[in-house]
Each structure stands twice: as structure tokens, then as C-alpha cells.
Amino acid sequence: MPGSENDIKTKIALGKKLYFEKRLSKNNTQSCNSCHNLDNGKNGVDNQPTSKGAFGKRGGRNSPTVWNAGLHIAQFWDGRASDLKAQAKGPILNPIEMAMSSEKAVIDKLGKIKEYPALFKAAFPKASNALTYDNLAEAIAAFERTLITRDRLDKFISGDAKALSQKEQIGLDKFIATGCVACHSGNLLGGRSYMKMGLANKYENIQDFGRYSVTEKDEDRYKFKVPSLRNIANTAPYFHDGKAKTLGDAVTQMAWLQLGKKLSTNDISSIVTFLTALNKIN
């Protein structure tokens, strides 16, 4: 993953500890893992339409998976963070999410926890002042750069014709023929471009302007980052607002909203069958 060439074991270990650290929130209840759950090999989401923050208020967008996130074009649905490090800085200070008042408040809090000064020094041995907010974000990013999944589609592409069942191969063919690959392409089957939500037919949620809120360009109104389909069967609900409850519902709506197509029940089922082959196996 980009940037991993500079990661050392102590930095990754610190980042992992910080990722699960609830004391990074105002009331010690919320960690990165609260919304992007990795417990026991889970799929990096909380399977909620939108996530509750430290004080119980929900955010406005669905929490995407952190698996493979560092391979995306940018971070957040609207791409407002250029990379994992920039993304890691946001939720801690977000008043709805982790609600810390300032970078200084975060570092002052960590500095009073016995183990952290030494862990930061070990992770950033060349720094005269290792315990900084910038280094905190860099450490979390280093851990997240280890979160790469592989699945049976990888084996199939590599030449193992039996890696996908006959039904899954039929679903892959239907996925391609329907036109899903126009946006869900590349190694991640998405994550590398922005697309208007409601390209062919208008989407019901017109309150969230998507990328327009970042760029203020009219052509970016209602555009969102195309999600990766890796592990998609395990990361319901779907869309930036979490309004598609099931994978079948998401496939149905995407075909209509983006391609102007009404798929048959059999075609929807076939595509869903293929998408289950994208569940991580490592």
C-alpha cells in the first residue's frame, strides 16, 4: 500500500494501539474501531446506516470499511482527505464523532498516560518531539496500511478457474454485461473515481451535496467516491447515507439510478452471488 515502505514495526504497533484507544474521545467511549470494527477479523464497519458518536448523536454518512482504504483515490465519501494520515486527524476532533476539543488537548491527554511517551519515541526515533498529533495520525495510518484483503476473485484472475463456482462466474459475466464495471473497475472494483449519485435517474436524497461541499464546483454536485466492492457482502447497509439495507437492494437501485436499467430478479440474484465471492479470505 502507498507509504508502507516507510513503516516500521514500532510505528505499526503504536498505530494499532491508537486505533483501538477509546481515550482519544472526549468521554473515553469512542475509538476508531467503534465505527470501523476490526474485532476478531471483522469487516471494518459497524453495519449501521450512520454511526453514533461519543455522545450518542449520529453522523450524516455511512462509515465505510477501512480494509484496503489506503488504496483508494482519497478518503471519506467526498474525498476531502487526500490519504489515510489526513483522514485519521478528522474524527478525533469532530464534535459529533470523538469530540476532542483540539490537537493540544489530545496530546496533553496522551502525555499523561504512562505508556504513550515511550511508545511514540520508539515509533519515531529520529523525532526530537515524538508525541505530536501529526505523528499520532501517521501511526494510525501505518497500521491501516496493513489492512489489505484478498479473495477468491484474485485466485480466479490468477488462473485458478475453480476459484469461482459456475454460478459466481455467471454472476461476474452479468456484472460486466450490465455495465457495473464502468465505475466498479480496477483491483478494488471501485475506490478510484467519483460519480454522481443518480446519474440516469434522480436519487431520493438531495440534501447531501457530496463532493460539491469540498470543491464548490457545480459539476461535483451529488458526486461521491465510488465504493470498492471488496468485502461488500459483509458491509451492509449501503450507499453514503446507508439507505440500501441489503446487497440485492443496492444492486437494484444502482442499476436504475446509474444505468437506467431495471434488472430481473434472476439478474439481481446472479450479481449478488458473484459479489459474495469478494469476501476476504486472509
Active site residues: 97
DSSP bridge partners of 223: 196, 210
Distance of CA 27 to the CA centre of its chain: 25
- Type and span of the H or E element at 136: helix 133-144
CA 49 → CA 89, 120, 135, 229, 276, distances in Å?
Answer: 23, 35, 31, 17, 20
Contacts of 23 (CB under 8 A, 6+ apart): 109, 110, 113
167: buried, middle or exposed (CB in 10 Å: 19+, 13-18, 0-12)? middle
State the cell numbers at 269: 440474484
From the list 209, 195, 216, the residue with the least C-alpha distance to 241 is 209
In Å, the largest CA–CA distance within the chain is 63
116-123 helix and 133-144 helix, angle to the nearest 10 degrees: 70
Positive or negative torsion for Cα 15, 19, 25, 27:
negative
State the cell numbers at 220: 461535483
Contacts of 63 (CB under 8 A, 6+ apart): 35, 36, 45, 46, 48, 50, 51
